[in-house]
Structure 1
Amino acid sequence: MKKLFAPFVAIALLTGPALAQSKLDQAIAKADEQLRKGKPEEAVKTLTKAAEQAGAEGYVALGQMQERVGNLDEAAAAYGKAKSLAASEDPPTRAEVLATVVHFTLRRGTAKDALALAHQAVQLAATPTTLAALARAQVRSEDGPGALQTADKAVAAGAPRGITQVARGEALIALGRNAEAEAALRRAIELDPRSALAQSRLARALLALGRPADAVAAGRRATELDEKFGEGFAITGVAILAGNLKDWGDAIAQAQQGAFLDPKDPIVQLAVGKIFETNGQLEQAAGAYRRALEADPDFAPARLALIQAELNRGNREAALAEARKAAADMPTSPEIQLLIGEMAVRKGDYAEALGFLERATQGLPGNPDGWALLGRAYHFARRYDDAAAAYQKAVELAPQNLGYRTTLGLVLGQAEENEAGLAQLQKVVNTPGYKEAAAWANIGWIYRNMDKPQESIAAYRKALEIDPKEEQAALGLGWAYYYTKDYDQAIAAYNRAIQINPETAGVAYDGIAWCYAFKRDPANARAFMDKALKAGASDTRLKDYVERLEKAVAAGQLMGEEEAARVQADQRREAERARRIETANNAVRARNPATRSRAARELASLAGPDAVDVLIYMMQADKDYDVRIAATQALGSLGGAARKAVPNIEGLLRQAPYEAPINATKEDMDNMMKDGDYRRALRDALQRIKG
């Protein structure tokens, strides 16, 4: 196996007749020397003559030389000739030629064509070079997970090669695993120091890691290695701008040089558009994005950028319509899924956002923003366990993002993991220079749920000290003072919340009414209860207590401290019960089967007969055997109160037991065992319900 120099990869040549191969090697060496001496025309002539005698391998060499001198149309013709001649060659030879054509197609063609050629190459011979070509085509086709699997196969398939590490680096960048990508690309450079592609991709990884100066250095090195490689200039421009917005002129000059050299490279046109967009030149940006799509209509990043440009113009509905169309046209694009999910979140349509964001995070597992958006959607859907898991992933990927960690702390508390939530929030407030109110307000909320009102008061006061306009802290402070029976302070805190944000009036007036009720002031209790009702807050327990208080006062009697304490304790128990029922109801939809199983038990314990309908559904419809068993056992624990479930249980028992097939897998055998456990649980529940 011999090697030719390419503008961005070293491509392994094919074995052939010894004499032809030797002559081709000599021609390559001569042409390379001519190019180094500044005689590109002579270099091309040398390889043109050699190609006529060497067949497919010769035209591959000619195509690579044409790339090096910037004659991309002539390079395309040479590769086309190589592909045609290779049709009569043995499969390994054809595979290597096709792999070379794939790399050029990714520079000057469509992802669809590149992917088809790469699959053909791998079918002919699964070598490190063909697998690397396939991985790179998969990256451009928005299949990051598949690309990484293929790249790993390429790395394992033979001796170390620069292009296999480049492919792996590209796949890791697509997945957001940028530190690993940097390592792979540095390895690629060790293996092939003349690879401009490896340097340009290293620049991209470094940029994603927040190291623009290093990215500029790598980009400039790419342009030094190959002064005709447009992507090197494009990434250099993007990196320059990331380092200093004031260097916009230099950045656009670099990117436009890339577009001059590689006008049909969608990656280059995307970079030009991004730089224009940063400077507010939206029409020029849109033009560059359209040129990218002319080169490759399925280039998702450019289509995504056009949609984002519509958003920047304020055309939200038009952007959403185009995004939906893009999602239908490019169902495998995680970036499109992420954008639609984000737009749905911003509209407040969290139910719609969930599907898009779940698919986006599967395709972009290394994107912390995607996980945070998914966590936000789960949070508003009150799926707290799932929200905590998503925010945990976001924090793992971006540990320096205190906003993600602040929300994670709150969500963990809402998922009944108060200690874990408190630990996350304490990390935030102990961060040097932290001066935000949000984490302190969340700490106050968690301490309140842990029945530590004094700690809660201190945290809420700290939040208001930092931001006097933090209405949630004012509301929380009102509740904390209320629990300590410091009713005057509680009333003051509630009034402060209303002053900060009048939309809190319903909740605040309800709290004030309770304070006056326990101060044995039925007139003010009634007045603020009416204000709360007018503001949209209805509280039947408050109404009952105020009416009883009014009757006692009218009869010349005062409700004693003991009665007030009992009512207050009942109120807190009922509030806690309602909160736990709500949490369990939401956990029924959790992704984690263990969480759903726990929810079934909690609902039976807390809601009793009111939980029967939900438990019947879980018993019959949940995909996980353990959840179905837990729901069945929960129904049995209710005894006669679950009689409504009897026909459903009897119907399930009439169904045939699960039988594993003859060639059963371990999963089939596990399912057969669990089906037996499920049927035993059904029989036991039926017996307990019927008594």
Structure 2
Amino acid sequence: MLLDITQSSKNWIRCLRIASFRLPTAKPKTIFHSGRLEMISVRMGHCRADRAQFRKQPAMRLQSFSPVILVWMFLAVPTLGLARAFGVQGQNNNDNDIDAWTVQHFRLASEAQRQNNLGVAEKEYQLILSRRPKFAEVHQNLGIVYHQQRKYRKAVKTLQVAVSLKPDLLGAQVFLGIDRYMIQEFKSAVGSLEKALRLNPEERQAGLYLAFTYLALDSPEKAARQLRKTAQYFPEDVEIAYHLGEAYLEGVRQRMVSLQQAGERSALRHWALAISSEQKGDRDGTILEYLRALAIEPKNVELYWRLAIALRKAGMADLSGAALQRYALLNPDRDLESLGLDAIASEPSGDQAAIAAHKDSYERLWESLPAAERGDAWPGVADEFVNQAIGKCALSTSGSEVEASLKLYRKGDYRGAAEKIKGRITGQPQDWPLAFLQARSYFLASDYDAAEQVVEGPLRNYFHLPSVALLRLEIESQLALRYFGLVVAKEPNSDRAKLLLAKSYGATGRTKDAISTYQEILKQAPDRLGIHLAIGQLYEDEQKWPAAIEELKAELALAPDNALALAHLGHAYEESQDADQAIQVLSKLLETHPEDGRAYADLGRAWAMKQNPAKAIEAFERALLYDSNQHNLHYRLFQLYSKMGDNLKAKTHLAAFKAGEIDKQKKLRAATADLLKQ
């Protein structure tokens, strides 16, 4: 069950779910945001999410564990009597091996580091390494100094030396993984962080950053799994709960994208859109999407129950009653009084005018549904595809347990239904429908952890099925809300709670409130990574380019290697017609991310502003090489090649542009036709 938190908290946590349910209008590449709630905003044909195709922002990590304490935990502080503990490779391990000069300078360096006098610490460590180049612990401490200075690339190079000399040096492995994450070398970061966890499974920061890295690699289920492992050692850790919520929300977003790709004629897609509308408080959208789903699959039992609830909340008691009667007809085993529909009151909302205006449409859509007969939807667990698969299992020679489980399910004893087939699921391919039945039963019994275990176990090879995607979406949505609720309940005035509030404001279009809340966080923690970037993105959405530029520059002052901030800054300069600055910033970005198609597109426009068609052509060609979806660039190339007198290439790009436009129009007409049919 959900935590009992204040109604206002519930409202804005619900708003957070909006961002995860929003569907991109362009094909998504990789959506990354520090809080994993990157809203998809479309402006001038761009999907902002695409800007992160090759970049993941390693920022806005609200760590309750002090970075200073983390540094102190791993600082090596040798003395003459502790020489053996360091095991310096290539040298004798005796007390005399570390001379008094080395100890003295190490003490000076470590003391300077503890006092945050990092320049002195850096020089002292470098001095020691000039005499003792194989001293692994000194390489580790110097790498940590670079980390504290946010010189992450230098830190990586130095820490690589440390672990090559001493692979079991835990601190070096932890910081190497963290700093590889910070410079977006995610696959390498996984290796370092996994090594650190093999050395110490309870290493909290390694567990957290391994999860962050999995999120950056678009594997939210791996991230959630790792966070759950780390949470076993820190069960009361609110930060872990916060990031678990992030991981589950990213999972929800991925499921929504996959269901969108199922097409307009998929009942599951409309079911998912109805859930999305429900979470946003959009009653009109909820009702319409459930009706559209039923128009495609009129024997889907659960959809009638959900529709009945939505209609009742909208104050349409007659139509709600009709939906409930259809539910009872298709599932005669269920006692309607046990559903508690009478306890659900009408809840006026902001879209009452839209509901009233569309009442006739609801009634026409309802009347267009085909008639049903008693028990016509057996077994009535999910969509038609799943129902047929479960029905075959029930009709098999060993199906008595399945039939008993289905009977309990249809009566509403969901936990009993799940437990009934526990021993029947063997993990064989033919058992996946039973695993689905069990997971759905646990979900409807509000046992989301048990449902998740089944999904990640017997159903793990069936994630590609839209039916499983929808089930995962529902489970992950509830788990995300649970963990965010935990954060708000335990730390209602914390930075994490404020961050959730700011994101909820941003997700619902309250930009001023979002910016104001982010600024409150900055007052308490002016060096917090990712906050300036979040504000800059909000200004960018409103095309307030000077304000966006200032915020993005502030972010880069804190983290010069932040590729996402560089990309947004380059784009902001291009939009504000500052070609020189755009070229400088984008060129720096492309040195480390040479396959970023969106950055090349911005660079091409900047060179075009500079009246340099040759360089503009080169940039636009690279943009299309790395991201062929930017078909509008073909027209820019047609213009540039025409200007250069290369008519053959100009015609080629004009033909490519026209082909892209035709394809876009075909898709638009098909989508419009589907809507008209419905």
Question: Same fold per TM (> 0.5)?
Answer: no
* Rg larger for: 1
Q: What TM-score, normalized by structure 2, do the two folds share?
A: 0.39
Point out which structure has higher relative CO (alpha carbons under 8 A, 6+ apart): 2
